[in-house]
Amino acid sequence: MKRPLEMAHDFLAEVVTTEDIVVDATMGNGHDTLFLAKLAKQVFAFDIQEQALEKTQERLNQAGMTNAQLILQGHETLDQFVTEAKAGIFNLGYLPSADKSLITKPHTTIEALRKLCQLLVKGGRIAIMIYYGHEGGELEKDAVLDFVSQLDQQEFTVAIYRTLNQVNNPPFLVMIEKLERYRHG
Ligand SMILES: C[S@@+](CC[C@H](N)C(=O)[O-])C[C@H]1O[C@@H](n2cnc3c(N)ncnc32)[C@H](O)[C@@H]1O
């Protein structure tokens, strides 16, 4: 069985082409930025920590990738840089190797999700990896589940991929797809 992060990558890889602009909303150590850079025309990657930009730049340099723009700003400002996107990924929580108090927060996560849903092209997809074992994680998980559950079913399909028998709050995946055609009725 695929792990949730593998599932997230496969879900995005199915639709992203070298013509597409995509978003990594939580750059961290740059694993997802590199993954997306190999698939897309351009990646806009966000993080609020300088360390994330350094790590990610290093990773991209090693792979010889030059098509990612690394932005030291919160993902809630993504509409200042991106006008449309084919895909986006969120890896919520904290950066394991850094300050564990610098976590993603419900308010800004939802603002970023709302903006990304708006500027997603038809057929576009968003993958949200939800880590919620840390303090504050449970609140963010509930806020995200609440937000995505209320997306209009005529415009989006939302699904969840989650193990049911693992201990210690294992991360799980929320998948959003913007429908090609508005569904009537
Ligand atoms: C779980 S880590 C991301 C891991 C990353 N995807 C990787 O491949 O290594 C979460 C990241 O979100 C960042 N973050 C927290 N609040 C943010 C915000 N408002 N906008 C963008 N990034 C944020 C943290 O600094 C942290 O690096």
Mean pLDDT of 153-160: 97
Whether 111 lines ligand 1, by a CB cut-off of 6 Å, is no
* Candidate from 57-66, 68-77, 149-158, 176-185 with smallest mean pLDDT: 176-185
Report d(CA 180, CA 96) in Å as an integer. Answer: 37
pLDDT tens, 51-109?
Answer: 999 999 999 999 999 999 999 999 999 999 999 999 999 999 998 888 888 899 999 99
Report d(CA 104, CA 75) in Å as an integer. Answer: 10
Report d(CA 145, CA 129) in Å as an integer. Answer: 12
Whether 32 lines ligand 1, by a CB cut-off of 6 Å, is yes
Q: Looking at ligand 1, which atom is closest to the CA of residue 131?
A: 1
pLDDT tens, 10-55?
Answer: 999 999 999 999 999 999 999 999 999 999 999 999 999 999 999 9
pTM, two decimal places: 0.97
Report d(CA 113, CA 141) in Å as an integer. Answer: 13
Q: At what angle do helices 106-119 and 137-149 cross, to 10 degrees?
A: 30
Whether 47 lines ligand 1, by a CB cut-off of 6 Å, is yes
- Of 100, 109, 117, which Cα lies nearest the Cα of 74? 109
Hey, which of 59, 75, 104 would you mutate to test ligand 1's pocket, going by the most ligand atoms within 8 Å of its Cβ? 104
Higher-confidence position of 88 and 181: 88
Question: Could you tell me the pLDDT band of residue 184, with boundaries at 50, 70 and 90?
Answer: low
Question: 103 CA to middle of ligand 1, Å?
Answer: 7
Percent of residues in the chain assigned helix, strand, coil, to nearest 5: 35, 25, 40
Q: What residue has token string 């209320």?
A: 150
